[in-house]
């Protein structure tokens, strides 16, 4: 028969044993991590190419229409980003669409803050938004505005 103090230790010993079994790192990996050597992996690529691991690819609906109408303008819903440029009215994304045509769309500056989408096929979500009018010719003091389809999400789908 086990003593009461031994019985009190059983749940603790069981928890420690289970924690050791649940670990998915090998002894060498765990030792390297404790020594400060950590293997950091990114889901982004250096060469702007597609991610090799299909489990890390973003899921997007590419079965929808290739074009959408937002704020009275028909814009591409997906395409390959060939250029990103920050402008005075908005950020501009140039796309090669599914038909092979090249189009430039307005985008929120936050979409263009990263070059991760350049050279990649993206699914785009738009919202109607007000920006500085073209008639202002870049003058920040101009009060003229216009409502455009503004890309707020450009999710890589390649």
Instruction: Write out pLDDT tens, residues 39-97.
Output: 444 444 444 444 444 444 445 556 678 999 998 999 999 999 999 999 989 999 999 99
Q: Are 112 and 91 in contact (CB under 8 A)?
A: yes
Q: What is the pLDDT of residues 86-141, one digit of tens each?
A: 998 999 999 999 889 999 999 999 998 877 899 999 999 999 999 999 999 988 89
In angstroms, the CA 61 to CA 24 distance is 33
Distance CA 37, CA 125 (A): 40
**pLDDT value of position 77:** 95
How many separate helices (H) and strands (E) can be counted in the chain? 3, 7
CA distance 126 to 93: 13
- Decide if 106 contacts 125 (C-beta within 8 A): no
67, two tokens: 């074009």
Contact criterion met (CB below 8 Å) for 126 and 151: yes
pLDDT at 55: 47
Q: What is the pLDDT of residue 110?
A: 92
Q: Which residues contact 79 (CB under 8 A, 6 or more apart)?
A: 95, 96, 97, 98, 103, 121, 122, 124
């Amino acid at each position: 028969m086990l003593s009461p103090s031994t019985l009190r230790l059983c749940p603790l010993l069981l928890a420690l044993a289970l924690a050791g079994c649940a670990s998915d790192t090998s002894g060498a990996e765990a030792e390297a991590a404790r020594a400060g050597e950590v293997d950091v992996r990114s889901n982004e690529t250096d060469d702007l190419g597609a991610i090799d691991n299909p489990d890390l690819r973003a899921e997007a609906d590419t079965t929808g229409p290739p074009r959408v109408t937002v704020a009275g303008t028909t814009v591409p819903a997906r395409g390959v980003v060939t250029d990103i440029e920050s402008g005075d009215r908005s950020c501009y994304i140039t796309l090669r669409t599914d038909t092979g045509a090249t189009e430039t769309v307005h985008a929120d500056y936050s979409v263009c803050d990263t070059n991760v989408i350049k050279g990649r096929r993206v699914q785009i979500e738009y919202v109607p938004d007000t920006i500085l009018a073209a008639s202002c010719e870049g003058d920040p003091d101009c009060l003229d505005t216009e409502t455009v389809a503004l890309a707020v999400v450009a999710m890589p789908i390649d």
